Amino acid sequence: MTYRSSFLMLVATAGMCFVSSFAPFAFGQEDPAATEIRKDWDKVTAAFSGGKADEVAAMFLAKGELIDEQGTVYQGQKDIKELLTAFFAKFPGSQMKNEIESIRVLGTIAIQEGRRITTAKDGTSATIRYTSVLAKTDQGWRIASLRDVGDESAPTPGDLLKPISWLVGEWINEGADARVKISYKWSEDKNFILGEISVTKSDQVVMKTSQRIGWDALLGAPRSWNFDSDGGFAEATWTQVEGAWLVRSSAVMPDGQTGSAIVKISNEENGRYMMTGTNRIIGNAIEDDFQITVVKVPPAAAK
């Protein structure tokens, strides 16, 4: 069971429905009930961070309920304590933060909405949105019902490019007639992979290409753009097929001719990858297929 899935089932019982902040009262004054809830929340936070399942479970009503994001209902302090005990045993030292979005006090009942973030000792974290119903008792505010909804943040374009992030680094191919150097790095915002490619023949650089690989949200796949030093340019879409990437490109040459090709990129996972070019057409001419092996350059020795 992953940290997140265990979290969704277990840590929700931590009673995170108490506030770490509060809704403003008249003339900027804090609602007295919100102040009480906030103080109870401080107790829950301390108990959870200390791994005290019994103290956290006691913040629920005797028949209080927890409904996780799968719709499973856990009812009563005994069941909640057992869940917490299992969670703390699996993830000792977990810490939590609470972000309150709203709290409404309706007499002896309060409704709170927000999200909480729980972090394990190894830095793994999980985020959950929740709605809780609190009841005022002689012992303070207690949880009558807590319903959780998953709240994983939407992935960034950079996150979606992780399957090709192995390209980042310095690469080289030395053939009989040319030497190709390829360098990939992340853009400053981590949302693009930037490539610089140079081709050398007889110790002279005969071509340079700048490449930008991004995530095409409409296509749901990577897309790349190439700009050559001679004025040509190309655009390509990337499709993952059986562990390799098929890069389908269309290009415009400096003289106005168009071209297209399919390049298969296969990561050999031993510091090299294979590039196989097929269906290569420039103007009305069909070009030969090719296959080259690109080798990763070892990092320079520290001085």
Higher pLDDT, 226 or 15: 226
pLDDT at 35 over 90: no
Cα separation, 284 vs 258, whole angstroms: 9
Mean pLDDT of the region 217-221: 88
Cβ–Cβ under 8 Å, residues 220 and 238: no
Within this chain, do residues 146 and 15 fall inside the same structural domain, yes or no? yes
Cα separation, 45 vs 41, whole angstroms: 6
Residue 174 maps to which CATH number?
A: 2.40.128.20
Which range is most confident: 23-27, 34-38, 249-253? Answer: 249-253
The residue written with tokens 């693009």 in the block is 192
Within this chain, do residues 140 and 10 fall inside the same structural domain, yes or no? yes
| Position 51 confidence tier, pLDDT thresholds 50, 70, 90 | very high
Higher pLDDT, 236 or 68: 236
Give SS3 for 161.
coil
Task: Give tens-digit pLDDT for 153-175.
Answer: 667 899 899 999 999 999 999 77
Backbone angles phi, psi at 134, to 5 degrees: -110, 145
Within this chain, do residues 133 and 178 fall inside the same structural domain, yes or no? no
Return the pLDDT at 151. 62
| Position 18 confidence tier, pLDDT thresholds 50, 70, 90 | very low
Report the domain count for the chain. Answer: 2
Share of the chain above pLDDT 70, in %: 87
Tell me the pLDDT of the chain averaged across its residues: 84
Q: Which of 150, 181, 214 is the last residue of a domain?
A: 150
Beta-carbon contacts of residue 171 (< 8 Å; ≥ 6 apart): 181, 182, 183, 184, 273, 294, 295, 296, 297
Within this chain, do residues 167 and 88 fall inside the same structural domain, yes or no? no
Residue 22: DSSP 8-state: -
pLDDT at 63 over 80: yes
Of 9-18, 26-35, 65-74, give the lowest mean pLDDT range.
9-18
Residue 109 maps to which CATH number?
A: 3.10.450.50
Higher pLDDT, 110 or 19: 110
Instruction: State which residues form the domain around 30.
Output: 3-150
Within this chain, do residues 176 and 287 fall inside the same structural domain, yes or no? yes
Q: Which of 104, 127, 150 is the last residue of a domain?
A: 150
Return the pLDDT at 34. 82
Return the pLDDT at 115. 81
Cα separation, 206 vs 99, whole angstroms: 57
Return the pLDDT at 26. 40
Return the pLDDT at 9. 38
Mean pLDDT of the region 254-278: 94
Mean pLDDT of the region 89-112: 87
